[in-house]
Amino acid sequence: MKKQLTIGLLSVFGLLAPFTTLAWAGSILWTPPSSCVEMDCDATILHANITSSFTNPGGSTEPFIIQVHSSPQYCLRLDVIKQNADMEMVLVGPDGTVWRNDNRALLDKRPLIVVPRSPAQGWYTVHISPATGVVLPNGGHLNADLAYGRYTSVTNPNCAPDTEPLLPGPGNS
């Protein structure tokens, strides 16, 4: 009886095996570099969800955080192309260099960070949250669409205007 049950279970799992696939998920993203010249062309578009707690007093906003790859031979462009509230973006390089942008222009509150030559190869942490002073009510929900692109030439229009580091990493000051 035990042997038949074991054989039966193995048969069922054997039949299901072709229908299983590995699912990959995580916060690290890589996009191939591009030489295209239209704004945000060949960028990977990510939908960011920023929420606040239903139960924690004051909302306790949970920012959108991911890691994107870059290296010194390419420029890195992080462009919030759409948002439903005033957002800010902070980028931290693997060497500790920090960039921050709240509003790209006086009347355009979308954040944009452009690093013409990434100072270090590796994973850069991207943090998108409501701009200073924006308070989400408990259970609040905000959205932003982020274009992540790497471009092969600093003369590419996607590599300007460059964002000055807020805090240079060690050895870069």
Q: Is the pLDDT of residue 83 over 80?
A: yes
Q: Mean pLDDT for the chain?
A: 84
For domain 25-159, the CATH class is mainly beta
Q: Is the pTM of this model over 0.85?
A: no
Burial profile 53-65: b = 16 or more Cβ within 10 angstroms, e = fewer: eeeeeebebebbe
Q: Is the pLDDT of residue 6 over 90?
A: no
* pLDDT tens profile 102-159: 999 999 999 999 999 888 999 999 999 999 767 788 888 899 999 999 999 989 999 9
